[in-house]
Every structure is written in structure tokens, then in C-alpha cells.
Structure 1
Amino acid sequence: MRFIACVFLALHCLVAFPAATPALLAPIQYKQSVNGTLAPQSNFALELKGVIRQIPVGSIEKLVQKYLLNDVEFQGLIRTINSIPAYQFYRQIVSQPEVRQLQLWIAQQLILSGGSSKIFEYLELEIKIINKYPFWSQVVNGIRGFETEFAQIYPVEVIRSLLEPSAIQTSPLLSELWRRLVALLPVYERILATPSGQAVTAQLNRLGVDVGGLDNLIRYQFGWSNSTYSSPDYSNYLWY
């Protein structure tokens, strides 16, 4: 499980493609309006891009760069994320039939709406090897410090509100995406219960990651928990 961007990388893991098999495209469905005319169809590619663009990649990139260059604890976490066991765990996630079905459905809808998987390139991080600001080396505070700062800049409530059907979010395709994401809960719990899932979780615990908080964040983001997400307490954190 890739921790660096918690939820947006979890989402990236779920929807990264191209898929191994070609997409069998479903016919385009048009919605009939009250007066019998054809109502314009929602554009899935533009709607999904609108959700993705709410993720502050620039701020997250700067935060990761600051900790990766200056914090020993965080460097250990990055090494774990890039280890062979972590990669095998990632491949186990994306090879699940339910996840592959979601990939295929998203690929279909993007093609039908004139888009492509390139919209996910926005989520890629580019980390420079030089400190952008000299004082960065003095303001890092371990993995918990990274978690605290990340929680402040990642808009978990906003992302969920844009995906979850509501009086504001009435897009049929985003609603279907949300339904399919919610349906992945058994997959998530099944993977975590595997030996590799337990090994990765144990290693994150040993490194000092708040695994319970990360689990709560993921469950709230993907609609697997309806409890209100609580951000960490910043009262004792020193900001620069």
C-alpha cells in the first residue's frame, strides 16, 4: 500500500491502466428529456478530471520532497514502499478481478467520452534532489510530522463530496463510479488479511506509521465508512 499520497495514490493504484485485455465498448446511452428531445450526455472524462484536479499535487510534491531529502524516518518509509515485498503486494491488489473490472469500466467510459488514461498523469510526482528552501532540514518531524502536514493539505471531504451522489453531485457516471468503488470493500479487507497484507501492515507499524489513521482515511474516502473523518490535532505542531 503506497503511503506517500495515501488516498490519491490508492485511487491511482485502483485505476492505473492500460488493462491487459481490450475494452469491449458498451453502446452510448442518451437520456430522454421531458419534451422528447435528447438531453446532452454528461462527459465522464471532464467530470473525472474535475475531481482529480482538486488534489493539490504541487503541495504534496513539495511536502514529499521536503521529508524525503531531510528526514531519516521518512527515507526508511520510502525504501519500504519501493521494496520487492511492497511491489508484490501492489501487484496483488491490481490483479484482483474486481479491480481489473473497475479498470476496464473506467477505460470504456473514458474512451466513450473522448478522454484517455492520460488524465491520471496529473497525479505523478516529480521530486528534485536539492532542497528548495535551506530551512527545510530544520522543520521535518518524522513520519508523524509528515502525516500531520499531509492531512492538512489533502481535501478528503471535498473529494468524497465530488464522487458521492448528492443534491449537488447528480452525474450518473460519477455515481456509478462511486458505487463501484464502494463495492470494493470486500476486496480491500480480503487483501489486508493475506500474509503479504499483514506483513506490509506490520512493517508500516514498525516504521511508526499511524496505520489505524490511514485505514480510517481510506475507508472514509471510498465510502466504506460513513463516520465523519477527523483530522489530526495541530495544536502542538510547530509550523514554519
Structure 2
Amino acid sequence: MKGITLFLVALGCLVATSSSAQLAPIKSVQQAAAAPAAPNFALELVAIIRSIPRKQIQHLVQAYLLNDEEFQAVVRDINSMSGYRLQQQVLRQPELRQLFIWLNQQLILAGSSIKIFEDLELEIKVFNKYPYWSQMVGGINGFENDFNFIYPLEAIRSQIEQSAQRSPLVAELWRRVVALKPLYERLLATPQAKVLVNQLQSRGVNVSAVDSFIRYQFGWSNATLPSYDYTEYLNY
């Protein structure tokens, strides 16, 4: 049903675009050649996704998951029944569902699909890929340090903002993501989230650093940025 709905929305947008094109004056070949090509939304997102060092992150997670007991305990907490229920609660939030629907629509119109995000999935195997993996783990603090070393947080944030200046759709996506700040804070205040946060903190996770990382990556914490109106896109 969801796929049919998205198809109908995309079809309606295409029909509306075709109708407008019939009424617009025909441009000469020289005019068409001089006009700059509109940025492709899907390609802009792919460029951002490819800047994330997926393989390095996958190897890091796999090495720690196979060899580090502290990291294994954190993963068990995240994948516990209470953690799973919290994940489902997040996915049911109307603001997030609206964002996914809009994103699906725009990717369909760009000739792509939500599958472009599949490259971010992690594939974990049950054996060490390299023999030194068993000697490189260093507990939760070691994982945090290693992750911060390989993940270009500021570069990715800068790339997103530069893409938003070139592409109106990326700018719209960025505004919609920024508008999720109240949702994030609302979920953090729930009893389920507080229980999970306390569990992770007891395992040695630097929860404050993780929170700062999330807020910076999604444009919720940098005072040097323009002041976004977080309520502007809540009703889309």
C-alpha cells in the first residue's frame, strides 16, 4: 500500500510537470544549452553518502564486536527488547514518517529510490578479516577514539551545507532534518530512552559526547550557523 501511494504521488507530480511544460514557451537550442543544468537530488545525496568511510567503519565495528567484551555488552543493550521497542517508537513518530515520505517522493522524481542508503548498511562476519584485529580493541573508550579518528564529522557537515547552497532540494532536506530537533529532545525525555541512556552510561559510553556528535551532525548545536526555525517544517 505504501509503495502504491508513493507511486501515485510521483505520477501526479510528473503529470503536473508535463502540463506546465506544454504551456511554457519553447526555448531555442542555444537557450537550452546556455541554461545551467539543475542538480540531481539523488546524485547530490550519493555524493554525501560516499564521503562516509563505510568500509572503515564496518571493519572497526566488526573488530570490536568480535573481540571486545565491553563493546559486545553495549550492542546487547541496544538490541535488547527495551532497545528494540525504543527504536520502533522512534520510527513511528509522525515527523520522521513525514520526512521519509517526502524523501521517497523526491528520490522517485529524481529517477532513484531509497535504496541509495543501502550502502550505509553494515555487514558483519563471524571471523576476523585481519589477524591483528584481536589485538587492536581497547574497550568503549578505544572504540570512541577510533571512530572519531576515521569519521570526518566536520567535513561531512560542511559538504551537506555546500550541497544545500547548490541544490534547493538538498536545502529543503537539510531544513527538514534540522526541524527534527524537538522530536529528538522529546524522545530523550521518555522513560524508555532514559533507561537505555543510563545503561549505556554504566557501560562506559560517553553519552554526552555521543549527544554532541548527533546534534552537530544534524545541525542542532552549532551557534555559528543561522538560527533555524525548528517549527517551520513540523506540519509538513
TM-score of the aligned structures, taking structure 2 as reference length: 0.80
The equivalent of 2:104 in structure 1 is: 107
* Kept in 2: contact 1:162–1:169 (CA 8 A): no
Q: How does 1:181-196 map to 2 (within 5 A)?
A: 181-196=177-192
The equivalent of 2:5 in structure 1 is: 22
The equivalent of 2:73 in structure 1 is: 76
Partner amino acid, structure 2, of 1:180: R
Residue 22 of structure 1 aligns to a residue in which SS?
A: helix
The equivalent of 2:201 in structure 1 is: 205
Unaligned runs of 5+ in 2: 22-26, 225-236
Q: Residues 163 and 144 (structure 1 numbering): CA distance in 2 closer, same or farther, change over 3 Å?
A: same
Q: Percent identity?
A: 54
* Kept in 2: contact 1:19–1:103 (CA 8 A): no
Partner amino acid, structure 2, of 1:219: R
The equivalent of 1:14 in structure 2 is: none
**Deviation, structure 1 residue 152:** 0.8
Q: What is the alpha-carbon distance in structure 2 between the residues aligned to residue 21 and residue 187 of structure 1?
A: 28
Q: What is the alpha-carbon distance in structure 2 between the residues aligned to residue 227 and residue 145 of structure 1?
A: 29
Unaligned runs of 5+ in 1: 1-17, 229-240
Asked if residue 172 in structure 1 is aligned to residue 165 in structure 2, the reply is: no
Partner amino acid, structure 1, of 2:41: F
**Deviation, structure 1 residue 159:** 1.6
Partner amino acid, structure 1, of 2:77: T
Residue 64 of structure 1 aligns to a residue in which SS?
A: helix
Match of 2:156 among 159, 163, 167: 159
* Kept in 2: contact 1:71–1:141 (CA 8 A): yes
The equivalent of 2:132 in structure 1 is: 135
**Deviation, structure 1 residue 21:** 7.8
What do you get for the CA RMSD once the two structures are aligned? 2.6
Q: What is the alpha-carbon distance in structure 2 between the residues aligned to residue 185 and residue 53 of structure 1?
A: 25
The equivalent of 1:219 in structure 2 is: 215
Q: What is the alpha-carbon distance in structure 1 between the residues aligned to residue 191 and residue 67 of structure 2?
A: 33
The equivalent of 2:231 in structure 1 is: none
Match of 2:59 among 44, 57, 62: 62
**Deviation, structure 1 residue 163:** 1.6
Q: What is the alpha-carbon distance in structure 2 between the residues aligned to residue 157 and residue 135 of structure 1?
A: 30
Aligned length: 208
* Kept in 2: contact 1:19–1:100 (CA 8 A): no
C-alpha distance after superposition, 1:176-235 (max 9, x if no partner):
11100100000000000011111111111111111000000000000001158xxxxxxx
**Deviation, structure 1 residue 88:** 0.8
Q: What is the alpha-carbon distance in structure 2 between the residues aligned to residue 150 and residue 44 of structure 1?
A: 29
Q: What is the alpha-carbon distance in structure 2 between the residues aligned to residue 20 and residue 169 of structure 1?
A: 31
C-alpha distance after superposition, 1:23-74 (max 9, x if no partner):
22345599xx9x9766533211111111111111110111011111111000
**Deviation, structure 1 residue 134:** 2.3
Residue 164 of structure 1 aligns to a residue in which SS?
A: helix
TM-score of the aligned structures, taking structure 1 as reference length: 0.79
**Deviation, structure 1 residue 169:** 3.7
Q: How does 1:29-44 map to 2 (within 5 A)?
A: 39-44=36-41
